[in-house]
Structure 1
């Protein structure tokens, strides 16, 4: 049995129900789990002691939406958007071509570099999707590589229809719901679909989600990024999706329906930053009683950021969240979007995944955007 006492914490965020924050605190970790929380200077004996020296300690970020295994570069596409070109789903196909051509060693090396970026910025739990292979062999390879770094892997064969099936969507759907799922399901926990104009219709999305669920995968959905679709929102709720992601265009009825459901709404402010689409209102969702998560959507096309602190700053400035609400969405909210109760908080029993900030408060994550405030990351379990 090993133990670590983190003492002299200026501000400790635990997300406990009755007392989510504590000043002048200490925290004891035993065998990788939070075992005790109390006042600074009053902690029990431990094998090691870490002096936080007044720093703020927060739960490690839970990034519940990312696409980290890919080949190629789409910086020219970004430059074109900044010059006025509109974002559309079709750019995904250029990444598909580069990913199919990439070596396994190259894909693994880039994945490791991106995971290291995330960890350095405080992310200690993450989800990774496939979706840049769009054939049986490559999709299975992407998920196998993702599974090397996280158990939260998502099959996204229904990202877009690849070029070779442009004239036969039905055949591609048969492949996704059949042989591709059979090859990918052993490496995935989740099934996802891009339910948007230019990608997949509501009925096509239903077929893919139900096929994945029949193979034991849990559903999530990309929806209402490019335009409104109450039918897509209704589908997410109907199939019991853990999360509806993007939510850029929601009607009042959509917001009410999501608030009355267990489906988490995952906001991805890096996308709006990179595509110049309107930011959805997190304030409206929270005021309605919906559960909200923040994630990076780290991908080479529409949001090539690995920084949840950056996403927190955007959520506070442009989505109407308070600093406390944004932090909660990037930690406990992300855990809820992954149906995890062991991460995203620092209550007794939680996995000891946390970040020490070189700041007295988490408010500095939004107050000092772009500044590397994560001083140290511990991911002990």
Structure 2
């Protein structure tokens, strides 16, 4: 099946080609076959035509950090935080209890609901972490369920130390790097750890990541969310694809990231929800750090699935331009997943496309909270919109 999308007022490619005007895109067999000016479009190759009506077309968003398989609700925690209570990593344990108690069918139904929610907001690729089970059986079912909806599955058994292992964190790390990893590795691509005060030390984090690498998983790291620490150094040393959060970075951290191919994934929904300071993305980009944006959808610290919302925050409060924020939410997310076939509109890439009900991508930040996504294609197939 071939489809020509033409009369595109503004086409953001997220590649060196930049932004094209009065453009067209040819899709063949789920891939981008041609990109260029509408006047030069190969109309004879198309079986179907879509008139974009002068609106903007962008790559599908690549959300490289989410926690979508869980049960329960933490609205009361959010309310308390808005009243002045400080955010702490320990709140994760309440979601663990609810998730363990939920049936597999309940978890699957909620997960698929979130995926539909993401699509409706333009996200065509999502990474999903485990981390709300924290037993061998529960973590295995979380990564297995995540693998039903995405190939980007992360084993995060080292999210926090569960209450039954209180004061025995090293013993829990042994469980994570042994039987739990054995059960989860067949369903996952990535290994992750929360390297943070109140979660896992640098030494424990190294044990987790090196065990995952030995099993063929690639490393990612949660770090520097609650304060500065050694997580960035560890991530760069082990060649992690991404370090996520980065709210508190030292000059050394910034220089190390700039000199590496480790992406810094910023999660502005977390700062919005926890009232922590926003990272200075302007400084990071100017210093040469590769920056991605993701939602970190989770019930405790960032219960949003809206990449447009995160883009708007990044532009208003983190010093990014609208074009930089869109790149970070598309091509940047793809780099955080070590992918070159998504997050861009170029010949050969997957036909993951979003048509906006707006003349330019700037409206994603200019009109915050407004549902601008008109149509979404995933692998060339319309998954949302008419």
TM category, shorter: over 0.9
Query: RMSD in angstroms over aligned alpha carbons?
Result: 0.7
Q: 2:32: which partner in 1? A: 34
TM-score of the pair, normalised by structure 1: 0.98
- Most deviating of 36-45 and 117-126: 36-45
Secondary structure at the counterpart of residue 154 of structure 1: strand
Spell out the pairing of 1:168-247 with structure 2 (5 A cutoff).
Answer: 168-229=168-229, 231-247=230-246
Q: Aligned pair 1:339/2:322, yes or no?
A: no
Counterpart CA distance in 2 for 1:291 and 1:347 is 20
How far residue 167 of structure 1 moved from its aligned partner, in angstroms, is 2.7
Partner of 1:278: 277
Q: CA deviation at 1:130?
A: 0.0
Alpha-carbon distance between aligned partners in 1 of 2:36 and 2:270, rounded to the nearest angstrom: 39
Secondary structure at the counterpart of residue 283 of structure 2:
helix
Change over 3 Å in CA distance of 1:200–1:52 after alignment to 2:
same
User: Aligned equivalents of 1:164 and 1:80: distance in 2?
Assistant: 26
Cα deviation, residue 40, structure 1: 1.6
Q: SS state of the match for residue 24, structure 2?
A: strand
Q: Which runs of 5+ in 1 are unaligned?
A: none
> Is 1:250 matched up with 2:238?
no
In the TM superposition, what whole-angstrom CA distance separates every residue of 1:57-102 from its partner, at most 9, and x where no partner exists? 0000000000000010000000000000000000000000000000
Name the CA distance, whole Å, in 2 between partners of 1:33 and 1:70. 33
Question: Which whole-Å deviations, capped at 9, do the CAs of 1:303-348 have from their partners, x for residues lacking one?
Answer: 0000000000000011100000000000000000000000000011
User: Matches of 2:250 and 2:182 in 1, distance apart?
Assistant: 36
Is the 1:202–1:232 contact (alpha carbons within 8 Å) kept by the matching residues of 2?
A: yes
- What is the aligned length? 378
Equivalent in the alignment of 2:259: 260
CA contact (8 A) 1:292 1:329 kept: yes
Query: Where does residue 383 of structure 2 map in the other structure?
Result: none
SS of 1:302's partner is coil
Equivalent position of 1:86 in the other structure: 86
The residue that corresponds to 2:19 in the other structure is: 21
**Contact persistence 2:357–2:374 (CA under 8 A):** yes
Name the residue aligned to 2:141. Answer: 141
Can you list the C-alpha shifts for 1:130-156, whole angstroms capped at 9, x where unaligned? 000000000000000000000000000
Aligned to 2:3: 4
Contact 1:7–1:41, Cα closer than 8 Å, also in 2: no
In structure 2, distance between residues paired with 1:232 and 1:299:
21
Gaps of 5+ in 2: 381-386
Inter-partner Cα distance in structure 2 for 1:100 and 1:307 = 27
Structure 1 position 372, deviation (Å): 0.1
Kindly state the Cα deviation for residue 232 of structure 1 after the two structures are TM-superposed. 1.5
**CA displacement 1:234-257 (0-9 Å, x = unmatched):** 100000000000000011221111
Shift of 1:15: 2.2
1:2-58 Cα offsets, whole Å, 9 max, x none, are 2100000000011231x2110000010111111111212431220000000001000
CA contact (8 A) 1:154 1:192 kept: yes
Following superposition, the deviation at residue 176 of structure 1 comes to 0.3
Distance 1:233 1:66 in 2: 20
Cα distance in 2 for residues equivalent to 1:353 and 1:240: 28
- Structure-1 separation of matches of 2:318 and 2:15: 25
1:362 aligned onto 2:366? no
Q: Is the Cα–Cα contact under 8 Å of residues 356 and 376 in structure 1 kept in the other structure? A: yes
Distance in 2, matches of 1:269 and 1:83, equals: 20
User: What TM-score, normalized by structure 2, do the two folds share?
Assistant: 0.97
CA distance in 2, matches of 1:169, 1:349: 47
Structure 1 position 168, deviation (Å) = 1.5
Q: Distance in 1 between matches of 2:41 and 2:346?
A: 16
Rounded to whole Å, the distance in 2 between the matches of 1:232 and 1:123 is: 28
State the shift of 1:262 in Å: 0.4
- Contact residue 130 and residue 139 of structure 1 kept, 8 A: yes
Distance between the aligned counterparts of 2:120 and 2:15, measured in 1? 25
Give the Cα separation in 1 of the matches to 2:285 and 2:148: 35
Partner of residue 63, structure 2: 63
